[in-house]
Amino acid sequence: MTTFVVAGGCFWCLDAVYRTLNGVSDVVAGYTGGTKENPTYEEVCTGTTGQAEAVKVVFDEAVIPAEVILDVFFTLHDPRQLNRQGNDIGTQYRSAMFYDGEEQKELFQASIDRANDYWGGGLVTTLEPLGVFYDAEEYHQNFFARNPGQGYCLAVAVPKVNKVRASFASYIKD
């Protein structure tokens, strides 16, 4: 199994999308990239901890290639928006990839290069070394499935899930 940690706006959307893919065995919403030990959601939301809302995606490369996992990442958010995704504003919503070793860093950089072509340039996605990843509170895990009628999910997550379903149909779970 392979694990990637990525951040691209609210982790509810990332979590919702990655859970739809064949070969993904686990998705954990959490916080990384900052200085605060054991941050809470409320602390991260202030933007003062340095953490980003991120997801840890665990997947089987025999079922879904790493490149697809990364291309999905660049499809489901706008990596040209600095420290924001839509109305979610602050460094906690930055577009970032947290690499674990040189091999992952190179793979992530290659995906940034592909995405730069796809988006026509202007990407602000950062490559950051993976530090400590703190699991978010339980109520954030699998949030979309647990709260399908919640306003944010309907307005923001559903369009992202639908976009990925259309673009990566052959990798979507039945």
The catalytic residue positions are 10
Rounded distance, CA 2 to CA 104, Å? 10
User: CB count, 10 Å around CB of 12?
Assistant: 24
From CA 104, how far away is CA 100, in angstroms rounded? 6
> Which residues contact residue 69 at a Cβ distance below 8 angstroms, ignoring those fewer than 6 apart?
4, 18, 21, 24, 57, 59
CA distance 42 to 71: 30
Q: Which helix (H) or strand (E) holds 126?
A: strand 126-129
**DSSP state letter for 2:** E
Angle at 46 (CA atoms; ends 164, 96), nearest 5 degrees: 35
The 10 Å Cβ neighbour count of residue 171 is 19
